[in-house]
Amino acid sequence: MADHPVALSNVGFSFGEGALRRPVLRGLDLTVEPGEVVLLTGPSGSGKTTLLTLVGALRAMQQGSCVVLGQELLGAPESARVALRRRIGFIFQNHNLLGFLTARQNVAMALELHPDFGDEAARLGMAGEILGRVGLADFADVVPAKLSGGQRQRVAVARALVAGPGLILADEPTAALDRQSGRDVVDLMRGLAKDRGMPVLLVTHDPRILDVADRVVAMEDGRIVG
């Protein structure tokens, strides 16, 4: 149990207060094996995003147990959650790159949080390297506004993975992309994650990418159904 990068048991979560209180997750159990790519699907409103924000320590837990990379998140202080986030790679539906930084500088931002990656030159070197791995060697010094949607999302993938996180969380990373770009992005993500043995928890509606998963988990009404 302790070596699972993600281990949730009996997780419950509600939005709202008093009469407006609406449960979104109810008694949810889920584990992710080391190096496993898990795909989370389910109808809209079933609580997939909410689950991901809990696992990513972006939201405070309310009920149950959620152990991520060895850190129990129930009752964890903000400082512990910030520290855990540094060990997770996030890929959002929108790329959310900083518009005033080049692709390389955006990727290097993720390394700034870890003193062991050396100085600025070393960080920019590493960033350039991983941008090469996602096929953007020629676009490293370009600002996001001059990249296509697919290219931006590949920069976001590079940023999420560059620091060698213990877990990758992605929420519909292909939703804003066309078929081929979406395919490229998830393939890259899977390839890089598998190379480095990083587990991935990926939420998607996109049936075309189900085959990247080691395991597909379906959610309905706040529970895992299969």
Ligand X SMILES: Nc1ncnc2c1ncn2[C@@H]1O[C@H](COP(=O)(O)OP(=O)(O)OP(=O)(O)O)[C@@H](O)[C@H]1O
Q: Enumerate the H helices of 29-71 as residue ranges.
A: 48-55
Stretch that binds another protein, among 28-36, 62-70, 80-88, 214-222 (CB under 8 A): 80-88
Instruction: For the CB of residue 120, give the shortest distance to ligand X in the complex, in Å.
Output: 37
One-letter amino acid at 102 equals T
Rule CB under 8 A: which of 42-71 touch another protein? Answer: 49, 52-53, 56, 58-59
Instruction: For the CB of residue 58, give the shortest distance to another protein in the complex, in Å.
Output: 4
Rule CB under 8 A: say whether 117 interacts with another protein: no
Rg of the chain, C-alpha, whole Å: 17
Total interface residues for another protein by CB under 8 A:
31
Ramachandran angles phi, psi of 189, nearest 5°: -65, -45
Taking CB within 5 to 8 Å according to partner kind, which of ligand X, Mg ion, another protein, none is near residue 24? ligand X
Q: Which of 164, 173, 201, 163 has the alpha carbon at shortest distance from 52? A: 201
* Residue 216 token pair: 């597909």
Rule CB under 6 A: say whether 15 interacts with ligand X: yes
* Residue 98 token pair: 């900083």
Rule CB under 8 A: say whether 112 interacts with another protein: yes
Nearer to Mg ion, 49 or 96 (CB): 49
Rule CB under 8 A: say whether 93 interacts with another protein: yes
User: Are 187 and 213 a contacting pair, CB within 8 Å?
Assistant: no
Rule CB under 6 A: say whether 21 interacts with ligand X: no
How many H helices and E strands in the chain? 6, 10
Instruction: For the CB of residue 1, give the shortest distance to another protein in the complex, in Å.
Output: 25
Total interface residues for ligand X by CB under 6 A:
10
Taking CB within 5 to 8 Å according to partner kind, which of Mg ion, another protein, ligand X, none is near residue 47? ligand X
Nearest-angstrom CA–CA distance, 39 and 206: 10
CB atoms within 10 A of CB 170: 27
